[in-house]
Structure 1
Amino acid sequence: MARSSPHSCEDDIEIMIRTGVRDWRHVESDRYKWPQEAILVVQSNRLNEINHSKPKHINGRAQHVECAFLDEIESADQSLSLEDYFSKMRMRQQKTEYDLYINYSPCVDCADRIIEFINNHPLVIFNIHYAMTYKDGDGLRKLKYQEGITLSTMSDSNWKSVTTSLLDIHIQKMQKLQEEVRSKPGYESLNTALKYLDIERFPKWITMRKEADEVHDQILHDIFEEEEYFEEYWPEEYFEEYWPEEYFEEYWPEEYFEEYWPEEYFEEYWPEEYFEEYWPEEVSEDEDEVQDEILDDTLKLTPFEEYWLANGSGRSSFDLLYS
């Protein structure tokens, strides 16, 4: 059984691994601070799911993830049919062991709730693995000698187990979502994905998305019509009629260019030696020296600038240029 999670697999893994790690980067970004949310990964021979702390509960306070998990189990029992109820009762005659992987250790209130649940279900065993001690650890002190409960911090093997579970749960979730999306048409399939992944909760968002698509479809339609407009009002025949090739030959003859831009002009102002000096075909071995000379010429100052730099500030031209 894998319950839907409103987080991505990356989110869930990041919540687990960041809790308790003193990362100096938290000064620059909230991303590196310890998560304010608790996550609980549950493993057993009949259950494999992710639970998250609830933002608000009946009393207006956030509900811790342990209590949310236990409430879910008990409410599920009450909604069972008579046949399923007796089937579950028979299963309760056997011991059921749960591995609970949580980023913060239980608080005092959650510890009391866990003890109450264990007392009501003596064949249940909770193995609690946590990544960081919550506050002063008073919750752990309450649980440490309780029968049916074991406590441990996260270890090498625990990290492998919880990471594998997170991946399995999210893969199952995406496979289920894929089946539901494929069974529904168009925007309804998109709406199903958004609700399932808890990405967008605004009721009319799909309608807004559809309207935006229609607007941009109209823009694309207008872009294609521009070409049709041009072909309609500026056909190729128009240019052939009003701008024939003879027009250019008459008003822009080849002699015009030869008169105003003769070859001698380019030879005088752009001689071949100029290009050979500054843009040689092959780079010489002394290319660095050439570039240094060009740089020196570029940075060369006038006598007035040299005088001002020497007598006005006492700093060299190099210092002023690169300060």
Structure 2
Amino acid sequence: MLKKVAVILQPPVALFEFGVLTEVFGVDRSADGVPKFEYVVCTENPDEPLDAGPGTFVTAAHSLHAAAGADLVAVPSSLLTATPSEAVLTAIRDADHRGAYVMSLCSGAFALAAAGLLNDRTVAIHWRYADRLAREYPQVRVDADILYAQDGRIISSAGTAAGIDACLHVVRTELGTAVANRIARRMVVSPHRDGGQKQFIERPAVARSEQSLQPTLDWMTENIAHTITVAAMARVAGVAQRTLTRRFMAEVGLTPHAWLTRQRVARVQELLEDTRLSVEDVAAESGFGTAPLLRHHFTRLIGITPTEYRKRFVKRTSAE
């Protein structure tokens, strides 16, 4: 169960990544049905101001000892030329040894690599720093394309908004889709972007003369329980099927079928958590139609069966 979150700051502090962690884990949203986390911000020398950019300083009230016992220890971006202190590396290693989640945001991955946690693991990082990370730590499998990655209890993310995706991924994994969706709704962000989605698309998202696909995406979501063909999507979008596929790849980085499948799986997660419907009924409500097809796609994308997912969620909610 995810209860205590510790953030380790190193100068200079990247305010956006630090703010992402605070927004997801440090804001009390218990009134919205989100469990309140014990959130501590740590640094090697507490009460000593840390440079956080032009004219800005941050002070952390806790020493690194406060990270002990945390279920998640997160390391946001910091200066690449500064080697993490042995005290910081020890705190990171201790978290890993006791089985806690350890997460890096953007260049925070260098600290995890220096601690030896990333050897033989697939790691996400901002594309700008990928070559350097691979060069300095050749045992790390660096993927410059993906938004975030989970390899065991190690979670890594690319820059800026990808950190939000990684944080919500942890919440979704530990507390379920409904809780992650409540946080995302308050933050006004997408509740779920797949970690394997590309960091950026080479082509422009949409030409100036084209309309956004959002109305089509909304229509697909509203009709998720029904059969939706590419031809039907194209009719709603008012374009040819080939044009629709090109625009999907440009705007969301996925084919129409892949995007729809992910939305169906997200709907399955909600139904497994919030209802007692059978897997067969969940398949009908989510648009998969049959239980075997649901199980195939759910297991492929989530990594466990629908039955295992429901047991895990019920066990956690009953323990709260």
Q: Sort the TM-score into its range (normalised by shorter chain).
A: under 0.3
Asked which structure has the greater CA Rg, the reply is: 1
Q: TM-score, normalised by structure 1?
A: 0.18
Q: Could you tell me the TM-score, scaled by structure 2's length?
A: 0.18
